[in-house]
Structure 1
């Protein structure tokens, strides 16, 4: 039995039988297949190969800008090459590194600074940083904050965005670390920055969820109503 969930151009298929499960992630002509039973997974690959002539590239190393590193103690997923490509595109490969993505306690407003002459650069940069949050929970809050100014970005907002770029330039090898564990307890943490938006006084809420010691989901988003 199987079902799938689709988001944008990516579809996730899940096949379940008694005591086994297989996950199949499809993006255009790129496919990831994994499961808890090796023999069943190989059978699925052989079946698909008959229909679509697959090329088996072995262990997953790189997929949609996300790199996978196999360690003795676990698995590290990051986007260091993606960061390098982004900085190169923006001509910021030699920027001075920063120890944090933002100034602690700093709040930005729509009225800060002067409008940018080429706002599309800001918009495309924030869009790229949003994709980076797939493996970097540490920049989720500030990227969400900077996303509030996509309509009319200013030079102040762009300077704040460049600070994030300077931070990731020195931490590009950061990512998500997953390690085997018998602990399957679920832990969730949440917080809110009350009335932190200077323009509409809305709060920013955030949460992260762990299964054992491994983080599995996180978010930072401005609330829809004023608290």
Structure 2
């Protein structure tokens, strides 16, 4: 270490030794985490190995959970008295501000629904995003992207404000936390942040127009008695017109609640649709492995092996067939990774028709009719309608 230029004091070889971490320094979050984690361990909490930001306490069979994001904390559990006790103990160690029931967390609005569930929305965040792009009051549209669009990095004029493009795309990526149906659109458009074109910016504005008309929509989480895991895996083979790479997508449900999803461009070119589908299955299996471990650490082990659905029959048969076919020998690692889980009955794989493949919305731009159907399957609903239903029920 050395003194910063222009601020040298005395001997330039001497530097200050900090006795307390300063907020904003690179090492400050790490030091704060150690401080908070130590305080939680003193009152009986342990961090889960699957996610070090989640802490769990099992007190006489009653479980209490703490979720930490820097200095924003959610405390929940099976006993209201234990939750209050944990907050009181933490308040003795740290200067806390109890915000009461969860209503707003990291830009996400949390509202209760009539079915004793929650709906997570980012309506205020969407309004701020539209304001940043100068599109407040714009005409809405029915889909994030046209179903016939072919997005390419070649041709057309460069966009005049690349910084604005990158800023809007970054904000849209955070919005996918509660709006999984725009995952594919945001993933596709984020591939051009290095050198965006005017055509790319027009498509970004279309996504914003879609959000303008659906700003009150959010992710609905219902109270469930079943802990069964269902996964849908899909891919769009050679969908990129520039490098012919495929797009993988999967969505994972706990009961009927969507808990994990992704839309991601594959890193290698697939030689067949079977290979593209199989690589997507391998990514889904990796995520399922983490979720199974997480549920076990949360003291809620899964009652049965998760079910993985794929609409490519060849990929499904390949997962169970111990014979290496010549067309699949070049992706041997992925092949054995999925097959080991299938053979050990840790995961079940089954074929479904493409018409009911929910993950289709995560791999390609689809028509408005299909979008409405799959958006509902992803548990993305209108908060205003659910609130109106709740009010009428109370009346």
Contact 2:231–2:251 (CA under 8 A) maintained in structure 1: yes
1:33 corresponds to 2:75: yes
Instruction: Tell me the matched-pair count.
Output: 224
What is the aligned partner in structure 2 of residue 204 from structure 1? 247
Structure 1 stretch displaced more, 157-166 or 49-58: 49-58
1:123 corresponds to 2:161: no
Structure 1 ranges of 4+ moved more than 3 A: 4-7
Task: Please show how residues 117-156 of structure 1 align to structure 2 within 5 Å.
Answer: 117-156=160-199
Residue in structure 2 matching 1:2, options 46, 51, 55: 46
What is the aligned partner in structure 2 of residue 58 from structure 1? 100
Q: Residue 4 of structure 1: CA displacement?
A: 5.2
Structure 1 stretch displaced more, 32-41 or 126-135: 32-41
Q: Residue 154 of structure 1: CA displacement?
A: 0.3
Give the CA RMSD over aligned residues: 1.7
> Where does structure 2 lack aligned partners over 5 or more consecutive residues?
1-44, 271-395
Q: Residue 45 of structure 1: CA displacement?
A: 0.5
What is the aligned partner in structure 2 of residue 85 from structure 1? 128
Asked which structure has the greater CA Rg, the reply is: 2
> As a proportion of its length, which structure holds more strand?
1
Q: Residue 6 of structure 1: CA displacement?
A: 10
Residue in structure 2 matching 1:72, options 111, 114, 120: 114
What is the aligned partner in structure 2 of residue 221 from structure 1? 264
CA distance in 2, matches of 1:59, 1:179: 17
The SS at the match of 1:102 is: coil
Task: Please give the TM-score of this superposition, normalised by the length of structure 1.
Answer: 0.93
Q: Residue 151 of structure 1: CA displacement?
A: 0.6
Q: Residue 103 of structure 1: CA displacement?
A: 0.3
Task: Please give the TM-score of this superposition, normalised by the length of structure 2.
Answer: 0.55
CA distance in 2, matches of 1:45, 1:202: 50
Task: Provide, for residues 191-212 of structure 1, a one-character-per-residue CA deviation record: whole Å limited to 9, x for no partner.
Answer: 1011011111100010001111
The SS at the match of 1:197 is: coil
CA distance in 1, matches of 2:176, 2:119: 15
> As a proportion of its length, which structure holds more helix?
2
